[in-house]
Chains A and B, each alone.
Chain A
Amino acid sequence: MAMAQDSPGALDAKDFDRHRPQLMKYAMLQLRNPAHAEDAVQETLVAAIRGAASFAGGSSVRTWLIGILKHKIIDAIRKSSREQSLDQFETSTEDMDGLFRPDGHYEEKPAHWGNPEEALSRRRFFEVMELCMASLPKATAQAFAMREVMGLETREICANLNITTSNCWVLLYRARMKLRECLEKNWIKAGGR
């Protein structure tokens, strides 16, 4: 395997490889396919080794690697969306309609979350968020990740998923409503544990 130039402070393959499990988890969450996730991580590590000299420090190695991985994930989503079409049930709002009574009120009133910001310093909170994202249908989770984790515009997300704007809107709506419900149940009501 190619190694980074042996310049002072250069990172080598070992420095990158120890992040592999976390990168795999990140890629799996969004791609839902072990082979595709493995490819995205492998391409990321190869790119990182080639570009090790350009690592500016400042941010952590992990953050830098995830920055590269995001692009590889988007490429993979784009490729697989061209090959297979969206599941019909993901484009319907029926499952969200079930959150409301016929008169439009919530079936179960959303709870008061207090000061949730504290959760952002807790590893466990992000594990709960991962579980909640994993419970979403695939394209719904991908749309949410591209919008909220990667910060893409809706237009780009629809193009990457190869779907219409209104389908894209349904995916994001479902992701937000279901995640809200899941976080409330598994973090807030579980007492932040």
Chain B
Amino acid sequence: MIGLSCKDSSRLMSLEQDQPLTLGQRIALRLHLVICTACARVKTQLAFMRRAARDYPGPDNDDPPHRH
């Protein structure tokens, strides 16, 4: 499993959301993520989507105006 493509990596990152990866899969994925910004982005996006789905259906109303 050394030398993953982005396609392989996307499959492993989806699988990782559902079950622990094997050691070989984890190592291969980590090596790929170090050199691939596209897949590193997808990884954080999958984590965000999980949080968003748990929050669904979201706020009752529109958020109050932001003040900074």
Cβ–Cβ < 8 Å partners of A145 in chain B: 53
* Docked complex Cα distance between A119 and B53 (Å): 12
A123, B15: Cβ atoms under 8 Å?
no
| Contacts known (A97-B7, A169-B18, A173-B14); A125 close to B58, Cβ less than 8 A | yes
* Docked complex Cα distance between A121 and B42 (Å): 22
Cβ–Cβ < 8 Å partners of A2 in chain B: none
Q: Which of A9-17, A44-52, A75-83, A105-113 contacts B (4 or more CB under 8 A)?
A: A105-113
A189 within 8 A of B: no
* Docked complex Cα distance between A112 and B42 (Å): 9
B61 within 8 A of A: yes
User: What 5 additional pairs, Cβ within 8 angstroms, besides A129-B53, A169-B14, A183-B49?
Assistant: A25-B57, A104-B6, A148-B49, A151-B54, A172-B17
Determine chain B's interface SS by DSSP, over half rule.
helix
B22 within 8 A of A: no
Interface code A64-94, partner B: CB below 8 Å = 1, 0 otherwise?
0010000000000000000000000000000
A124 within 8 A of B: yes
* Docked complex Cα distance between A149 and B67 (Å): 30
Q: How many residues of A contact B (CB 8 A)?
A: 47
- CB-contact partner of B41 in A113, A123, A126, A148, under 8 A: A113
Cβ–Cβ < 8 Å partners of A7 in chain B: none
| Contacts known (A116-B48, A154-B18, A176-B14); A126 close to B58, Cβ less than 8 A | yes
15 A-B residue pairs with CB within 8 Å: A97-B7, A99-B7, A100-B10, A106-B38, A111-B41, A113-B44, A113-B45, A123-B58, A125-B52, A147-B17, A148-B54, A154-B19, A172-B14, A172-B17, A173-B11
- CB-contact partner of B6 in A105, A113, A116, A179, under 8 A: A105
A26 within 8 A of B: yes
A117, B38: Cβ atoms under 8 Å?
no
